Amino acid sequence: MKTSKTKALWLELMLRLSFRSFNPNLVRATRSYSSNADALIIGVNKLRNGVSKLDEDCLSNYSKSVLPSSVKSRIFSQISASQFTGTLGDVRLIFDGDNSDKIAPIIAVVGLGSHTLSKKSETIDASRLASANAISAIKSLFKKSKSFHSESSPIKVAIDSLNSFQGAAEGATLSSYTFDSYKSAANSEPKVWIEPLGSNDHDLSDWETGIFQGRAQNLARGLMETPANLLTPTQFCTQALDLFSPFSDTTELKIHDLDWIRDHKMGAFLSVSRGSIEPPKFLEIKYFGASDPNQTPLAIVGKGVTFDSGGISIKPSADMAMMKGDMGGAAVTISTVWAMAAMKVKVNCVAVIPLTENMPSGSATKPGDLVYAMNGKSVEVDNTDAEGRLILADAIHYVAKTYKPHSLIELSTLTGAMDIALGSVFTGVFTKSDRLWKGLNEAGVFAGDKFWRMPLDAGYKKQIMSNVADLKNVGGRSGGSCTAAIFLNEFVPTAEELREEKVDESVEEETETTLEESTEDVKTWDAKKNGIMFAHIDIAGVMHNKGADGYIGKGMTGRPTRSIIEFAKKTWAELK
C-alpha cells in the first residue's frame, strides 16, 4: 500500500504524463498547507437562526485550527463591515500586502450557505460552487497582469475543505480550466496551482478523487474545444495512445482502420465517412479494473464525429464552427475511462468510439441512398445530417455482440430536439431499464450534473419506417429525440438474438467471458439470458455554455463526464 507521500508524488507525476497535450490547469496533492501560497480560500457557513454575528464557529473545518487568532479576528472584522452573511457562493477578498501573518497575501472568504444541508450530495455541490467562485475571484485579480500566466509560474492557492474536500477540489479544478494553448502569452489566462488545507489520509483521498474527476471533465472540454483540423479521427487516436500510456498494465487500446471497418460490414458507419478525405477510425479501449479479468464489463459507446457539416444535407453556416464539438460523446467516453484507470476503479469496462468527419463531396452519401448496417438491417438515409445514429448503430451492435456487457451506455450530441426539450439543465436519458436508470440518476444527483428520464418506447418506431428499407434514419420533427433513440435501440441485440448467434471462433477466443446462468448479479451477468441494459444519453443540450454557469465557464462543457464516472464507481455494486 502506498504511503500518503508516495501517493501524492504518484498523482502529480501521473497528471503531468497524462495531459501533455491538454493541460487546462495545474493541480497538486499535498498533505498539509504550505505557507508560501499566493492565496488562501476559506469557507464560512451562513448564520444559523437566532445568531446575529459571524464568528469562529461559522468557519469550515481546518480554518478553525490552522489560522492564527489574529487572522481570524481580522477576517471577521472585515467581512462583517462588508455585509457578508455566508450566502452560498458569495466571495470577499481580504488583502495583506506584506503577508505579515505568513498565511497568504490574499484570503478569499466564500459563503457556504446553510449549516443544515440534508444530503451529502447537496454539501458536495455547495462546496463545488463555493470553491469555483473563489477561484474565479482570485483569477480576475490577475487577468490584466503579466504575472501568473504561464504554467511555470501559476497562482498558488491553498483551499480549505469548504465542508467537502472532493467538492472543493472539483469546483476549483473546473473553475481553473482555460483553453488557451493556441494563444500568445499576452492573450492567455492566469494559471492556477491548487493544494488542500488538510492533513490526513482520508482528506487527501477525497481531494484526489475531486482532482481526478475535475481533470477528466476538463479533458473532455479540451477535446471538444480543439479545432477540427487539429483533431481529426487519426489525431484523436494519437491523443488516446498518449493519454493511456501510463496505464498499460490495466488498459488495452486498438485502433481499427478502414479495411477493418469494411471487413466487419459496418455499412452505416462507412456511409457517413465517404464524403471526407480523412480516413475513419474505430477506437476500442479495454480497461481491466476488476480482480477477475473475465468479469462481465460495462460498455460505453461515444459518438466521434470530429466535424459535422451535415454532409449533402448541409447545415446553415451560422454557428457551424460549433460542430467541432460533435465528438462530445467520444470526449466524455475517453475521459471517463481515463478517470477509471487513474483511480483504479474496481470494474471492467470496454469503450468503443467510431470516429469520422461528415462532409459533402462527390463521393458523399446522398439523401435517399440505402445502406446496410452491421446487423444486416437496411437503412434509408433520408437526411445525411442525421449521421450520428448511423455510426452509433454499428458501434452499439459491435460492442454488444462482441463483449455481451450487462449495461451499455451510449453518449452522443445527437439531436437539436433534445436542447429544445430540456435545455442545458438536465441531460436526457432514454432507457427501458429501471435498474440502469436508478443508477444513472443517483450518480447524476451526487455529481451535481443531473439526468432526466425520457421515453424509449416502441410507439415511436412507426415514424422511422421506410418504404424502401427496414428503417430510415429520421422520423420527422415530432419527437425528434425520441425517434433517434428508438432507432438506436434497433441495433441492441436482444437476449434471444445473442443466444441464436453463430460466433466467430477467433473473436470468441479473444473476448471470452465467464457468465453464470441463474444470477442477476451484474458481476456475472449473462446477457444471453437477461439481455443487455441499454441507455442512450443525448448530450446535445448540455454540450456548450454561452456564458459561465456555476462552476462551468463559457464554452464546451464536457458534461456529463463526472456523472458517468460516479456511476461506474458507486452504482456498479448497487445494480442488484
How do residues 393-450 score in pLDDT, each as one tens digit?
999 999 999 999 999 999 999 999 999 999 999 999 999 999 999 999 999 999 999 9
Q: Residue 122 is inside which H or E element, if any?
A: helix 120-141
DSSP code of 415? -
For residue 275, the one-letter residue type is G
Q: What pLDDT, on a 0 to 100 scale, did the predictor assign at position 83?
A: 84
User: Of these residues, 31, 72, 315, 435, which one is catalytic?
Assistant: 315
Q: What is the widest separation between alpha-carbon atoms in the chain?
A: 81
Tens of pLDDT, residue by residue over 442-481, are: 999 999 999 999 999 999 999 999 999 999 999 999 999 9
Q: Look at the block and give the residue holding cell 488498459.
A: 251
DSSP code of 280? P
Q: What is the DSSP string of 184-253?
A: -GGGPPPPEEEEES--SHHHHHHHHHHHHHHHHHHHHHHHHHS-GGGS-HHHHHHHHHHHHGGGTTTEEE
C-alpha separations of 430 from 124, 251, 512, 525 in Å: 27, 29, 29, 22
**How far is it, in rounded angstroms, from Cα 248 to Cα 530?**
33
Q: What pLDDT, on a 0 to 100 scale, did the predictor assign at position 503?
A: 46
Residue 307 C-beta-side C-alpha neighbours within 13 Å: 21
- Catalytic residue check, 286: no
State residue 329 phi and psi, 5-degree precision.
Answer: -65, -40
Averaged pLDDT in 10-residue chunks for the chain of 576 residues: 39 39 43 70 80 75 79 86 90 79 87 79 95 96 78 88 94 95 87 84 88 98 98 98 97 98 98 98 97 92 98 96 98 98 95 98 98 98 98 98 96 97 97 96 96 98 98 97 98 91 45 35 74 97 92 96 95 56
**How far is it, in rounded angstroms, from Cα 217 to Cα 235?**
20
- Does residue 442 sit in helix, strand or coil? helix
**How far is it, in rounded angstroms, from Cα 347 to Cα 359?**
38
- Does residue 161 sit in helix, strand or coil? coil
Tally the residues of the chain. Answer: 576
Question: CA geometry: angle at 13 spanning 8 and 14, to 5°?
Answer: 95
**How far is it, in rounded angstroms, from Cα 106 to Cα 184?**
28
471 touches 490 (CB < 8 A): yes
- Does residue 560 sit in helix, strand or coil? coil
Q: What pLDDT, on a 0 to 100 scale, did the predictor assign at position 117?
A: 67
Rounded (10°) CA dihedral 477, 482, 485, 486: -100
User: Of these residues, 389, 401, 472, 559, which one is catalytic?
Assistant: 389
**How far is it, in rounded angstroms, from Cα 314 to Cα 533?**
35
Q: What pLDDT, on a 0 to 100 scale, did the predictor assign at position 34?
A: 52
Contacts of 9 (CB under 8 A, 6+ apart): none
Taking alpha carbons only, the member of 459, 451, 412, 430 closest to residue 534 is 430
**How far is it, in rounded angstroms, from Cα 251 to Cα 406?**
20
Q: What pLDDT, on a 0 to 100 scale, did the predictor assign at position 42?
A: 94
- Catalytic residue check, 389: yes
231 touches 306 (CB < 8 A): yes
The 10 Å Cβ neighbour count of residue 396 is 29
